[in-house]
Amino acid sequence: MIADQTPVIFLVLIAVVVVFGGGVVVLSRRRSSQGRGIAESATPADSLATSLTLNVAAPSPETPTLAADLNVAAPSPETPTVEQETATVAPEIEVEEPVVEVPTIGGRMGRSRSIFATAFAKIRGRDTITQDTWDELEETLLRADVGVKVADSLLSSLRNSVKDRIITTPTELMDALRSLMKSQLSVASRELKLDSSFKPNVWLFVGVNGVGKTTTIGKVGAARASEGVSVLMAAGDTFRAAAAEQLETWAERCGAAFVRGGEGADPASVIFDGIQSAESRGADLVLADTAGRLQNKTNLMDELRKVRRVADKAAGGVTEVLLVIDATTGQNGLSQAREFADATQVTGVVLTKLDGSAKGGIVFAIETELGIPVKMVGVGETQADLIAFDADAFVDALFD
């Protein structure tokens, strides 16, 4: 009986095995297809963790990845990847060009400009020229520190034109003042002199304490170096060690050579050494710093005379002696200029701190009373804050 049923039992067993085995295969396929569905639907935006996991699991062949760095086995080419999707949505990084602001005298003149511009606009707004007009004009000129002499000469010339009916309206009066102020300013060259027949040219910087000599050397050095002039800075301020360090920092910034002496060394000999060193290196320009000093200290002014004499004896030639004047000191700058000019034959003025001064009118006093041209103006503390002085642009800025 059992023997008769054996083929049947055998067939039933085969059937059970086939049905059960098929079920297992279907189930495992379903599971694997579900897992794949999660991976494919994930996007980098879902989460940073998901995105990182996906990138590690499926790197593109060309892109170096964390997985590659860690020697993670490369995935098979058939593995579904999201790398392409990630690459297409990668944000473009925009590199912004740095904006280099070129300072203008009008844009940086600050308070001096507003004193003039406010008063001049008020006068123009009136119908007639009255005593108030003259009073306001005089007050404005004096407040901006053009000096009594310059103010008197400007006003008396204008009064004559009004008397002769050449000027009849406030607008004509202001236009005439603008051209008169321009005509008062120097017609001498304002170029800093770089004479190629001298090797090196020497520019000495002199002035009272804290006016901005060292900073101006830094700015001038950077500007010249960027034009391809080879510069050496000589630390003739041997009064304080910090003064030489300050200059050395500026020299490093613009790649200039640098020469200093010990603290308390003779400034004339340090500058002489600087000039000789520049000659042996074939440098074009020596910028020589000096210690600040009051113009009424006879011994210190004598020391400066010696610096000038010694610099003249060294190689090359002294082509500029630049008196640095702080625009905020106003009329006191005039007596400084007289004494320094006498000691060192000043060739030009650098008027610093015009950005914070209400006394920009000192330009007129310096140029008309002393005949020394203002060559540069400082309008801030950084390397770019030095402008070649343009007399017409300066006067126009006061009126517009």
Ligand X SMILES: Nc1nc2c(ncn2[C@@H]2O[C@H](COP(=O)(O)OP(=O)(O)OP(=O)(O)O)[C@@H](O)[C@H]2O)c(=O)[nH]1
Residues that bind ligand X (CB under 6 A): 207, 209-215, 237, 243, 292, 352-353, 355-356, 378-381, 385
User: Which CB, 82 or 379, lies closer to ligand X?
Assistant: 379
Which of positions 191-230 make contact with Mg ion (CB under 5 A)?
A: 213-214
What's the CA angle centered on 289, arms 349 and 305, to 5 degrees?
Answer: 75
How many angstroms separate the CA atoms of 316 and 17, rounded? 108
Could you tell which of Mg ion, ligand X, none binds residue 200, using a CB distance below 5 to 8 A set by kind? none
Question: What amino acid occupies position 249?
Answer: T
Could you tell which of ligand X, Mg ion, none binds residue 106, using a CB distance below 5 to 8 A set by kind? none
User: Which CB, 339 or 385, lies closer to ligand X?
Assistant: 385
Peptide bond into 200 cis (omega under 30): yes
Q: Which residues contact 111 (CB under 8 A, 6 or more apart)?
A: 356, 357, 358
Could you tell which of ligand X, Mg ion, none binds residue 381, using a CB distance below 5 to 8 A set by kind? ligand X
Could you tell which of Mg ion, ligand X, none binds residue 256, using a CB distance below 5 to 8 A set by kind? none
User: Which CB, 59 or 385, lies closer to ligand X?
Assistant: 385
How many angstroms separate the CA atoms of 394 and 390, rounded? 6
Minimum separation from the CB atom of position 63 to ligand X (A): 49
Shortest CA distance to 83 belongs to which of 64, 58, 118, 48? 58
Shortest CA distance to 341 belongs to which of 314, 388, 301, 285? 301
Could you tell which of Mg ion, ligand X, none binds residue 147, using a CB distance below 5 to 8 A set by kind? none
User: Which CB, 339 or 355, lies closer to ligand X?
Assistant: 355
Phi, psi values for residue 286, rounded to 5° = -105, 125
Minimum separation from the CB atom of position 205 to Mg ion (A): 8
Could you tell which of ligand X, Mg ion, none binds residue 277, using a CB distance below 5 to 8 A set by kind? none
User: Which CB, 144 or 173, lies closer to ligand X?
Assistant: 144
Could you tell which of Mg ion, ligand X, none binds residue 353, using a CB distance below 5 to 8 A set by kind? ligand X
User: Which CB, 174 or 217, lies closer to ligand X?
Assistant: 217
CA distances from 30 to 19, 33, 37, 42, 78 (A): 17, 5, 11, 19, 19
Burial (CB < 10 A; 0-12, 13-18, 19+), residue 368, is middle
Question: What amino acid occupies position 51?
Answer: S
Minimum separation from the CB atom of position 206 to ligand X (A): 9
Minimum separation from the CB atom of position 350 to Mg ion (A): 13
User: Which CB, 133 or 214, lies closer to Mg ion?
Assistant: 214
Minimum separation from the CB atom of position 211 to Mg ion (A): 9
Residues 246, 299 contacting (CB under 8 angstroms): no
Burial (CB < 10 A; 0-12, 13-18, 19+), residue 344, is buried
How many angstroms separate the CA atoms of 387 and 107, rounded? 11
Give Cα 291 distance to the centre of its chain.
25
Could you tell which of Mg ion, ligand X, none binds residue 352, using a CB distance below 5 to 8 A set by kind? ligand X
Q: Give the CB-nearest residue to ligand X.
A: 292
User: Which CB, 144 or 286, lies closer to Mg ion?
Assistant: 286
Minimum separation from the CB atom of position 207 to ligand X (A): 6
Minimum separation from the CB atom of position 222 to ligand X (A): 13
Minimum separation from the CB atom of position 307 to Mg ion (A): 14
- Contact positions vs Mg ion (CB under 5 A): 213-214
